[in-house]
Amino acid sequence: MDTSKAPAAAELASPIQRLCEEWYPKVHVAIFGDQYPRPTDSLQVVIEPKVVVEVGGDRVEVPAYAHEGVIRVSSESLARMRDDYRGMLVHELTHISQRYRGVPDEAVWIREGIADYVRHKYYEKDIEAKLRLGPDGRLKGYPETASYLYGLQENRVKLAKQGYRQSYTVAAAFLFWLEEHANKNIVPVLNLALREHRYSERLFGQFCGAPLDDLWRQFFDRSLPHQAGSPPRSTPVRRRPTPNSAFQVL
């Protein structure tokens, strides 16, 4: 723990350290299993007034950022998130475990989706295998506490076509739905493929029985409100789990 740049946050050093020591191993097992070695057993958390990263050539301020074995955390964000920073740290610990060496642009949503999947399934325990949508197909009913989804809701973002590219909690819900309805091992399958530079959208057809965009349309349709007695238009693909082990070499 390093709070030298933000001494006012020193009181959080011990609880953050305890959380990281407990959850880093749990996070790794959740996405890799207990046979795949962790990329590092030495973590550093640096708290500083602001965390700024480059995104597409722009400098953007973010609440936290993970790279290699270091998590940088904004003390300003900690002050605003006194009761919610732990989930954010679990998300960043997932990135430490993932340690992908380059991610194709078309798969960035999976990286962030897996991190939010871990956060909301295992830590927050509030994940849903659906989105809360209104009849118009836009998000509806999310409170301000669900900050990412609430922001998309307020901006009336369209999700019908390739909505998974909104990433984070949207992608997490989609991945959880795939796990529930198509292949219970899909998250570790995708995670390992990204770690070993073997990712391709063909994996969705191979392990979930349909192309990615078809699966999204099924998920989106089943998230829409339906009248009583009126079933969704589409039927989810059902496949048996991956043979032998979810962590096998694909």
pLDDT, tens only, 129-178: 999 999 999 999 999 989 999 999 999 999 999 999 999 999 999 999 99
Of 99, 114, 134, the one marking the end of a domain is: 99
Specify whether 77 is located in the same domain as 179.
no
- Distances from the Cα of 110 to the Cα of 93, 100, 106, 193, 235, angstroms: 16, 11, 9, 11, 23
Q: What is the pLDDT of residue 84?
A: 81
Tens digits of residue pLDDT in 200-214: 999 999 999 999 999
CA dihedral 58, 61, 63, 66 (to 10 degrees): 40
User: What sign does the dihedral 108-109-114-118 (CA atoms) show?
Assistant: positive
Tens digits of residue pLDDT in 223-250: 999 754 445 555 555 554 444 344 333 3
Specify whether 181 is located in the same domain as 214.
yes
Q: What is the pLDDT of residue 233?
A: 53
Full residue range of the structural domain in which residue 63 is found: 1-99
Of 99, 131, 156, the one marking the end of a domain is: 99
Q: Indicate the number of domains in the chain.
A: 2
Question: What value does the mean pLDDT of the chain take?
Answer: 90
Specify whether 120 is located in the same domain as 206.
yes
Contact 118, 30 (CB under 8 A): yes
Contact 96, 71 (CB under 8 A): yes
- E-strand ranges in the chain read 44-48, 51-55, 58-62, 64-67, 70-74
Tens digits of residue pLDDT in 114-134: 999 999 999 999 999 999 999
Specify whether 118 is located in the same domain as 87.
no
We report the CATH number of the domain holding residue 1 as 3.30.2010
36 pLDDT band, cuts 50/70/90, is very high
Q: What is the pLDDT of residue 239?
A: 53
Specify whether 70 is located in the same domain as 151.
no
Of 39, 73, 99, the one marking the end of a domain is: 99
Specify whether 28 is located in the same domain as 110.
no
Specify whether 63 is located in the same domain as 110.
no
Specify whether 107 is located in the same domain as 95.
no
Q: What is the pLDDT of residue 174?
A: 98
Contact 223, 130 (CB under 8 A): yes
- Provide CB contacts within 8 A for 7, sequence distance 6+: none
Specify whether 90 is located in the same domain as 118.
no
Residue 99 has pLDDT above 90, yes or no: yes
Specify whether 70 is located in the same domain as 113.
no
Q: What is the pLDDT of residue 135?
A: 95
Specify whether 164 is located in the same domain as 195.
yes
Q: What is the pLDDT of residue 132?
A: 97
Gap between the Cα atoms of 124 and 106, Å rounded: 27
Specify whether 222 is located in the same domain as 139.
yes
